[in-house]
Structure 1
């Protein structure tokens, strides 16, 4: 999983089409297979608000400067796991543990900081259904990089986020499809769900790593049974002697 994480990050930073991501480069334009425009330069950029990144707050929130004024942008349509405070496993079908979600919240924030680091020029697109600001006073917007990468789309495709369906975003249906695709392909935070169906295991006992016969079983017990003692260093990988 860690190798995949590094590889997909490198691909996004290089803006290359690898792993079937469907991302267009800065000169490609056009739409992706999911119908989302890849490059803001293919349409009138006057419809966007230009901003500079001043700080990555977490995987779905960014502090920005707009014409010299400080503001905070909450990405529309996506929700990455919390990096501070508690996560809600029920938002992820109760299939992933708090520790696993927190790890991937940190990974999402790290990824975002690589793609749009401090000082990066970005484009903001507002959603007419959501309005410009949310209940916490933050701007609600889609973010594009200067090279045309739609951040929310990539967070979903790489498995860093779930589709936020509690709002009224115009792209909710497309984003939900991207989440489902990431689940089906075992991307990112959804990886443990693909380690077998666990039918042969039970949560009625709590064996230690020395008593567990496979990485598949270890992941099942961590993610499905909540046996966090199997992940001593809290990195989301259980029983590292067998889950290398």
Structure 2
């Protein structure tokens, strides 16, 4: 028996509805409660879950802070330290970046720390092709008010800085090194009894007394001493601190003969 056009349409509609209703619901974002134990730069941290375990190398989603060796890099890092030190935070995982780091939002209560950094002029909204990123409105406001890095009309976005000067371990030898800017990292308060946080002249501010841990740092500009660089070179994968392969890392910055 043949179906009428109306019956056939109704059957197809019912089948389509069944497919739609049986589709799996969208996966909820993973949320982890914990604390930041290292601040690498203005948009990268090491995060330890409250349940324990190894630190997670996190790149803040939606923002792009200055490289640590370019103007305003140290200030951006210090601003991030101020927002995370001594606080229990929520990490909302968004995925992974091209370097394998966890990409996520850091929340302190209702405050999105990445959004705040852009609004205060410590970072740009992250660009991807023609997309100006999630915080372009906050960036424009910071630019109009000349907040933070936007006080310098010649401020370069990190991508352009790297194109002109290369990565920080090379660029730090030039006139834009942190030492040449006159900027010094702010002191960091202790985050728990008996574990004073330490301000350093490198790219990492330790918020916990445990520095001997592979936490995603791979470059000389992220070290604080020759001893630390040597330990990372010997124990951690993916380090980029021994260009001539002689077993001595960071010969320009830390382990000069």
TM-score normalised per structure 1: 0.48
TM-score normalised per structure 2: 0.45
